[in-house]
Chain A
Amino acid sequence: MKQKIPFFSILTALAATFIIWKTAAILASSPILPHPEIVLARFIEEACTSTFWLHFSISLRRVCLSILLSWIIAFPLGAALGYSRTLDRIFAPLIFMAYPVPKMVLLPVIVLLFGLGDISKIVLITLILFFQVLVSTRDGVRAINTRYYDSVESMGGTRYDIYRHVVFPAALPHSFTAIRISTGTAISVLFFAESFATTTGLGYLIMDAWARADYVMIFVGITGMSLMGLGLYMIVALLEKKACSWTFADAEEPANERIAIIEKTVTYSKMIKLSHTVFALPFALSGLVLAIREKPVTAEMVFWIIIAMIGGRSAAMGFNRIADADIDAGNPRTAVREIPSGAITRNEALAFTIFSSVLLVFAAAMLSKVCFILSFPLLIVLFFYSYTKRFTWLAHIYLGFAIGLAPVAVWIAIVGMPGVSIMLLAFALMTHIAGFDILYSCQDYEFDRQNNLFSIPSRFGIKRAFTISSALHITSVMLLASLYFTAGFGVWYFAFIIIIAVLFIVEHRIVKPDDITHIDIAFFNINSIISVLVFAAILTGYLTGG
Chain B
Amino acid sequence: MVSAEVIRAESVTKNFSGNTVLSDISFILKQGMSLSVIGPSGCGKTTLLYIISGLTPPSSGRVLIDDREVRGTESRTAFILQDYGLLPWKSVLHNVELGMKIRGIPSEERRESAIRILSDLGIASHIERYPANLSGGEKQRVAIARALAAGPEILLMDEPFSSLDTLTRERLQYTMSDLQRERGLTMITVTHSIEEAVFLGDEIMVMTTGPGSANRIIKNRDRRTRGFRNSGSFFKTCSTIRRSIEKG
Q: Please list the residues of chain A having a beta carbon within 8 angstroms of any beta carbon in chain B.
A: 147-148, 150-158, 161, 165-166, 169-170, 172, 244-247, 249-251
Contacts and interface: CB of A to CB of B under 8 A. Distances in A.
A249 B75 contact: no
A250 B82 contact: no
A147 B83 contact: yes
A249 B126 CA distance: 13
Interface of B: 50, 53-55, 73-75, 77-79, 81-83, 85-90, 98-99, 102-103, 129-133, 150
Main secondary structure of the interface of B (DSSP, over half): loop
A490 B86 CA distance: 66
Contact of B133 (A150, A151, A251): A251
Given A246-B88, A246-B89, A154 B133 contact: no
A165 B98 contact: yes
Contacts of A158: 102
Contacts of A157: 73, 102
A150 B55 contact: yes
A177 B156 CA distance: 38
B133 to A, nearest CB: 5
Nearest to B54: A154
Contact of A246 (B55, B99, B132): B132
Nearest to A169: B89
Of residues B50, B132, B150, which shows the largest number of chain A Cβ atoms within 10 Å of its Cβ?
A: B132
15 contacts: A147-B85, A151-B81, A151-B86, A151-B87, A152-B87, A154-B55, A154-B73, A154-B78, A154-B79, A154-B81, A155-B99, A155-B102, A157-B73, A165-B98, A170-B89
A165 B103 CA distance: 13
A246 B102 contact: no
Contacts of B54: 154
A169 B87 CA distance: 10
Contacts of B85: 147-148, 150-151, 154
Contacts of A245: 130
Contact of B73 (A153, A166, A249, A250): A153
B74 A249 contact: no
Contacts of A249: 88, 129-133
Contacts, number: 76
Q: Which 7 A-B pairs have the closest CB atoms?
A: A151-B85, A249-B130, A250-B132, A154-B79, A169-B89, A155-B99, A249-B132
Contacts of B102: 152, 155-158, 161, 165
Contacts of B82: 147
Q: A151, A155, A244 — which one has the most chain B CB atoms within 10 A of its CB?
A: A155
B41 to A, nearest CB: 17
B130 A169 contact: no
Contacts of A165: 87, 90, 98, 102
Given A150-B55, A166-B87, A169-B89, A156 B75 contact: yes
B138 to A, nearest CB: 13
Nearest to B133: A249
Contacts of A172: 89
A249 B86 CA distance: 14
Given A154-B55, A155-B99, A157-B73, 19 more contacts: A147-B82, A148-B85, A151-B81, A151-B85, A151-B86, A152-B102, A153-B55, A153-B73, A155-B98, A156-B103, A158-B102, A161-B102, A165-B87, A165-B90, A245-B130, A246-B130, A246-B132, A249-B131, A250-B132
Contacts of B86: 151
B191 to A, nearest CB: 18
B90 A246 contact: yes
Contacts of A156: 73-75, 99, 102-103
A243 to B, nearest CB: 10
A470 B10 CA distance: 85
A419 to B, nearest CB: 56
A250 to B, nearest CB: 4
A169 B86 CA distance: 13
Nearest to A151: B85
B89 A244 contact: yes
A537 B248 CA distance: 91
A173 to B, nearest CB: 9
A226 to B, nearest CB: 34
A244 to B, nearest CB: 7
